[in-house]
Amino acid sequence: MDIGERQRRRMTRSCRDSVSNGNVRAGEGQRDRDTGDRDPSVEHSVCAPRYSLVQEVGRGSYGVVYEAVARSSGTVVAVKKLRCDAPENVELALAEFWALTSLEKRHENVVQLEECVLQRNGMAQKMSHGNKRSRQYLRLVETSLKGERVLCAEPCYLWFVMEFCEGGDLSRFILSRQPDPHTNTSFMQQLSSAVAFLHQNNIVHRDLKPDNILISERSGAPVLKVADFGLSKVCAGLASGSGGRSDAEDKNKLEVNVNKFWLSSACGSDFYMAPEVWEGHYTAKADIFALGIIIWAMIERITFIDRESKREQLGTYVRQGADIVPVGEALLENPKMVLCIPQRRRSHMSSALRKLLKDMLAVNPQDRPDAQELHGRISRVICAG
């Protein structure tokens, strides 16, 4: 049993102990306990409880993810529970909510949000994008903007109900199987398709890494799902949800170029962060760099042990003496450094793929392909290879 498997089993056990009170409810006609008013934001009449939690499947720094079953349909779903007390938790929860609800169309390779439920005082209400009539929603926005707690004493949770990805994450999936060039090429296409879709919809993910790329095997062949939008950014001109948008707003949405939209909070995970992210001044091209690291590592099965989770993760790095240094950090220190792609002598990599990876990992973001271009190039590299 590998470390990840052991960890998963331990989590499963601990979750079973707490399942008895682990139901997600969505109620109707809820009264706001602070004011006694009927909350006008409650949209749906739903019998509680709607989901039964089966087991814990993941735990990040800010939330817990469960496998659950929708009682009415028997559909297996994933439910991510985020406690909205500290402002930083609220910020992550809202970022995820805004990104996933700003998408008007589905994409096969982006995890599907079924609904988002806000729970407080044992009652719950369904959240919709930009619901300005909901006091709870406005409180969350205020908490996030002010950076200080403006919520009431009772714990408040956001539950994200999503499609369930039973195949685990990318590292686990790839490393638990024999190398398979067909899977690699299919995953490259799926990943670039997802990122092209997100960028087209003005979403910069900012935390692309194997942990956040999940696999669904429901339809037979493995299908990748980009997940965890907690650090994502919906760039200006964002969709305001269905309906009510003016022509001018639609035009504005189309005109946003995420590759020229500058972001400043340095965030992500070290090994996948582009050099300019370390400096805190970057665009959507940072996602292309992260994808370059992931694809390179996947093809050559290059791994490291993640310090926090102690799990083996796909990711390339640069050796400096006894240390391993993230590629982006090393490039920031030495922009002239030449990356050795492929890293292993025995790796088979066409020259077109090698060139593509080098371009994706270019120090200057402008030298990297944008997501659309990348998707086209990956298709051509695969056809030629």
Ligand X SMILES: Nc1ncnc2c1ncn2[C@@H]1O[C@H](COP(=O)(O)OP(=O)(O)O)[C@@H](O)[C@H]1O
Provide the annotated binding site. Answer: 81
State how far the alpha carbon of 291 is from the alpha carbons of 213, 224, 287, 379, in Å.
11, 13, 6, 15
Cite the annotated binding site for ATP by residue number: 81
Span of 18-26, 30-38, 61-69, 353-361 interacting with ligand X by CB under 6 A = 61-69
Q: Binding residues for Mg ion, per CB under 5 A? A: 60, 212, 228
Nearest residue to Mg ion, scored by beta-carbon proximity: 228
Interface residues for ligand X in 221-280 (CB under 6 A)?
Answer: 227-228, 230
Amino acid letter, residue 180: D
Q: Where are the beta strands (DSSP E) in the chain?
A: 23-24, 51-59, 63-70, 76-83, 113-120, 123-127, 156-163, 203-204, 213-216, 223-226, 233-234, 303-305, 312-314, 317-320, 323-326
Task: Please report where in the chains the tokens 């690699």 appear, as a residue.
Answer: 184
CA–CA–CA angle 169, 171, 177 (5° rounding) = 105
| Nearer of residues 162 and 188 to ligand X, judged by Cβ | 162
| Nearer of residues 60 and 167 to Mg ion, judged by Cβ | 60
In whole angstroms, the minimum distance from the beta carbon of 205 to ligand X comes to: 11
In whole angstroms, the minimum distance from the beta carbon of 5 to Mg ion comes to: 19
Interacting residue with ligand X among 24, 42, 46, 78 (CB under 6 A): 78
Nearest residue to ligand X, scored by beta-carbon proximity: 60
Interface residues for ligand X in 193-222 (CB under 6 A)?
Answer: 211-212, 214
What is d(CA 228, CA 63) in angstroms, rounded to the nearest whole number? 11
DSSP 3-state assignment of 373?
Answer: helix
| Nearer of residues 11 and 152 to ligand X, judged by Cβ | 11
Task: Please report where in the chains the tokens 């296409």 appear, as a residue.
Answer: 189
Per-position x/- string for 144-163, each x denoting binding to ligand X as judged by CB under 6 A, each - no binding: ------------------x-
Intra-chain end-to-end CA distance of the chain, in Å: 36
Give the number of residues in contact with ligand X, rule: CB under 6 A.
20
In whole angstroms, the minimum distance from the beta carbon of 230 to Mg ion comes to: 7
Helices (H), 67-214: 87-102, 135-146, 170-175, 181-200
In whole angstroms, the minimum distance from the beta carbon of 305 to Mg ion comes to: 17
In whole angstroms, the minimum distance from the beta carbon of 65 to ligand X comes to: 4
Active site residues: 207
Nearest to 261 by CA among 177, 325, 171, 201: 201
| Burial class of 129 by CB neighbour count within 10 A (0 to 12, 13 to 18, 19+) | middle
Interface residues for ligand X in 159-188 (CB under 6 A)?
Answer: 162, 164-165, 169
Q: Residue 111, interface with ligand X (CB under 6 A)? A: yes
Q: Which partner from the list Mg ion, ligand X, none does 165 bind, CB cut-off 5 to 8 Å by kind?
A: ligand X
Q: Which partner from the list Mg ion, ligand X, none does 230 bind, CB cut-off 5 to 8 Å by kind?
A: ligand X
Q: What residues line the site for ligand X (CB under 6 A)? A: 57-58, 60-63, 65, 78, 80, 111, 162, 164-165, 169, 211-212, 214, 227-228, 230
